[in-house]
Structure formats: structure tokens, C-alpha cells
Structure 1
């Protein structure tokens, strides 16, 4: 091989080494095997598939996280609603006595304040969304929470309670139950959207709000004000813990000291109120427990999404990413080879010039 041929060969090797150094330098900075996805060669299709699956898992995990944030707030509302039902069941059992009109007046004021609180709890918002409004996320389930103690439902229940001495216990209890169950405008305190939905047959009502768990699988977690989700109300009930709670608080607020004179009828009516509040309390506990089970399922699903995302990320990294430590070792070795190539070219140039001058 002539000196010129050797020189050209060394120059070619040097250019390759310089290109290799540029590529290794880029890899050491970016941590990626290739700057463009198309440069991965045979790994392109696998990389695209993994990226799509990873994106889907991450979106599902984020949706589950958001849903868990909502259910945590919902649990807080359910806990407080349960406390209200328990508190007034106890008051109806121990605080009101037929011989003490003052005890009734105290509980009446408390009941009116509790009605406002119940309405605000059913209007609980999280992230700008009404949690108990079903798909109607932007409007409150109870449009006039402050007016609940004096609204149409309360007025009609008060009229029936006032007629207790004349129409008797059974008729009064049935009438107040019917008023609380009503979805008619001018009676129900719920929004027109919720009232219209509640009036539909069960199979046609709006489904619970849900979060995707996997392809074709949903986890329902929503609770719509005015109708139970998982709980089944028992005993003296309208079939809805929310309606039971409002009905009995309104009935307590409507009683008058004069009605205490008929001890037998008064005590019997107080017994139905205690039973109604007990039904609401038990159903609320059941609802909260069922929601807790749903939360546990969502948390387990979220962990699976996280575990799969971790595994997918590792597979993707094997295709797209480099071992930076290994790259740095190879980069240094390539730099050493390039320096040796430069020295060889320099030596060859000197030799060629000496031959020329000889």
C-alpha cells in the first residue's frame, strides 16, 4: 500500500471516529439512542406500541387519582350527614319531652339550621364540580340551600304536621312521606335536572359517575342527591336517605308546643321521626361503606396501572435509551482512538514530506 493510500485510509477512519464521537456525545447528553424515532430501525414499531400503551395507562392512572380525590371529599360529606341524622335521632329520643315546650323550641331551631347544612353538604363541590349532581356538574343539586327550611317542601310538610291532631298519625306520616318523595316542581327542593331524572323508572335513570378501570370496564362511584347509590333504605323511609333526612328535620321543625298536649299522639309521631332518622343514619353508613369498597377497588386498580406503567417504561427505555455510563466509557475510548489516528496521520505526513525532499 502506497503512502498516499495509507494516508487516505487513515483520513477515512478519522472521519468515522469523529462521527462516532458526535453521536456518543449526543447520547451522553440526551440519554437517547437516536434523535429521531425513525432512526431506531427495527425498534420503531415496538417503541410506538409501547408509547401508546404507556400513555393510555398514565391517563387511566390520572383519572383514577382524580376520582379518588372526589370520593375522599364525598366521604367527608357522608360522615357529616350521618352525624346530623344521629344527632337528631338522639335529640328526638331524649331532648324533647311532652312536658317541656322549651325543649321542642330548641330542637326546632337546631333542625332548621341542620336543614341548611344538609343542603350545603349535598351541594359539595370539588375542583369546580358538584359531586352529588350526577352529570350536571355545574349546577347545584339543591338550588336554594338557604331557603330549604322555608321552601315548598318544608311548607307542605308543616301543613301536614299541623293537621296531625285532626287527621291522625297514619295519615300524617303517609302524607309527609309522599311530599318528600315528590319530584314535582314546586314541591321538590332538588334541581329540575335531578327531579326529572328521579321521576324516571330505575332502569332509565342516569347511571352513576364512573372511572375507566380497563378496556370496557368502569368503576361507578358517583352518588346523586335524592336517590341512593348502593344503600338500601329500610324501615320508615322514602327510599332515599337524603329525602328521609330532610323530611324528618322538616317535621321536627314544624311541631308546635300545643301538639304536646296529646301525649299519646305526640309520642307516637316522635317515634316515627326517630325511626326515619335511624333509617337515614343506617343508609348513610351503608352508603359510606360501599363507597369505601369502591375506593379500595380504585386504589388497587391504580396500583396495577402504576406497576404496568413502570414495566412499560423499562421496556421503552431498553429500546430508546442508552446506558450513559457505558456511553461515556465508549466516548473516551473513541476519543483516544481519534487522537491516535491524528498522531498516525501526522507521522505519515512527516514521512511523506521527507520522502519527497529526499
Structure 2
């Protein structure tokens, strides 16, 4: 009985095996160039849900980081403005102290300076960051302080007056984590600022100041300075909380990114080595297929 040299079925099997090897090579070439196991989630098999969850976590952490960065920038702008207010009140106190001598020249200088300081204070309370007013509560598009009517009349050193304020009562806050929100806003009608505005209005619109007025003004200036320093400390605390939360989110984002990378990345060196093996295997397969397909019974019987 004569043995058959080749059959169609054998040739077909070898070609199918070669095509499978070629398909594996094509996939690994993509892995080698991209550095990841798959171009879509379907290629991650049992790890698919874990990869999705980690990527969602990374995106969420980044959104908290972005929100924290923006809020902290606003806090820094507010802190700087309040620092300038502190300097302004300190200078006002110095001039009030100088005016206690009863000198008409020092009193006139104090009144003139208060007029300039009132405008400066209004400008500081209308501080903007990225085109938004930071001391107006939720109303970030309208200047929170309007001096047009406030600047008329002396008002009172003892009665609060926030008629200059055009904003609302909402205190700005930022969500820095799933379970943490930081309140950082300060509105221009805050007691610290109101005391300063009331004091400046009284002095700026006075024609003369008695010893009793100056003494009372000094007390109010001291109270305003203490209150403004407290506001600045609160802003500093809010900034620290925001920055700490952002740092934690950054650490978590890096951790989650690493875990996701471990699940999705390939060892490029290992893939390259496998490709060399498959290349040799594929070359041998096609060589064998070519050899088999070139044989016929007549050649074999010669």
C-alpha cells in the first residue's frame, strides 16, 4: 500500500496555523508599538471592570485637583487683597495717632488720606481673579462694592453700614474630595471690611475731627485691624486645607494610574522576544507549506 505524499486537509491545517500565528504577531506588534495590551476594553478580559473603575477614579481625582487649584488661586488673590487692607488700616491708625495732637495740619492730612484710602479699599474689595469678582459671593460678574452713594455723608462710627455692598450672602466653597468640602469665600460686607469702610467714610467726609472723634476712630481702627487679621488667618487655613486635599488627590491619582498601567501595559522587551520567536516559527511554517505544495506524486516516484 502506497503512502500519500500530501493531502489538501494537511495543507489547509498548516495554512490555518500560520494565519493564527500571523494574527498573534499582528496583535503583539500593536502591543509593542503602543505599550498596552489592547486598544479597547474587550482586550483586557477579566481585568476590564478593574481597568474601567481605575480610569474613572483617575478622572475624578483630576477633577478634584483642578477644582482645588482654581479655588486656591482665588484664595491667594483674596489673601493678597486682605493683606493690602491690613497695611491700609495700619497706616490709617498711624495717622489717627498723629492727629491726636490736635494739629490742624495732621487732621487735614488724615482727612485727605482717608478719602484716598476709601477709594483704595473699594478697589481692593472689587478684586478679580480670572475675570470674576472674589468678594461678591455667588455673584461673580457684578462689582461687589459701589461707592457712588456710600461716599456721601459721614455716617456713624457706631452704626454698621453695608450700603456699599452689591453682592449676595453666599460663601464660596469647593468640593475637594468625595466627602470633603472647604468653605473659603469672604464677602465684602464681612464685619472686618464693614468696620473699615465705615471708619473711612466717617473720616473722609468730615470737615473737622474732635478729640473724641479721633479717639473713637482709633478704637474702631484697632477693632477693624484685628478682624481683618482674623479674616486673613481664615483664608490661610482654607488654603492649607485645599492644598492638603489636592496633595492627597494627586497621590491617589498617581497610585490609581500605576495600578491601571500595571493592568493595561505590556512588557515591551518580552513582547519583542516573543515576536522574534513567532517570526522564526512563521518563516518555518511558510517554508514547509511551500515545500509541501510543490510536491506531487510523480516527483516522489522518480
Provide TM-score, normalisation by structure 1: 0.77
Unaligned 5+ runs, structure 1: 159-174, 198-205, 228-239, 260-265
Match of 2:86 in 1: 82
Deviations 1:150-184 (A, max 9, x none): x44333326xxxxxxxxxxxxxxxx4322xx245x
8 Å Cα contact 1:64-1:211 kept in structure 2: yes
Match of 1:316 in 2: 260
8 Å Cα contact 2:161-2:194 kept in structure 1: no
* RMSD of Structure 2 on Structure 1 (CA): 2.2
Q: Could you say what secondary structure the match of 1:226 adopts?
A: coil
Alpha-carbon distance in structure 2 between the residues aligned to 1:74 and 1:182:
22
Match of 2:111 in 1: 108
Match of 1:251 in 2: 202
Match of 1:189 in 2: 164
User: CA separation of 1:276/1:353 partners in 2, compared to 1, >3 Å: closer, same or farther?
Assistant: farther
1:176 aligns with 2:157: yes
Alpha-carbon distance in structure 1 between the residues aligned to 2:296 and 2:14:
14
Deviations 1:27-75 (A, max 9, x none): 1222221222123221222222222222211111110111111111111
Deviation at 1:341, TM superposition (A): 2.0
Match of 1:61 in 2: 65
Deviation at 1:354, TM superposition (A): 7.0
Provide TM-score, normalisation by structure 2: 0.90
Match of 2:285 in 1: 341
8 Å Cα contact 2:71-2:174 kept in structure 1: yes
Match of 1:327 in 2: 271
8 Å Cα contact 1:96-1:107 kept in structure 2: no
User: CA separation of 1:94/1:357 partners in 2, compared to 1, >3 Å: closer, same or farther?
Assistant: farther
Alignment size in residue pairs? 298
4+ long deviations beyond 6 Å:
none
Deviation at 1:332, TM superposition (A): 2.4
Alpha-carbon distance in structure 2 between the residues aligned to 1:89 and 1:353:
116
Deviates more, 1:33-42 or 1:59-68: 33-42
Match of 2:221 in 1: 277
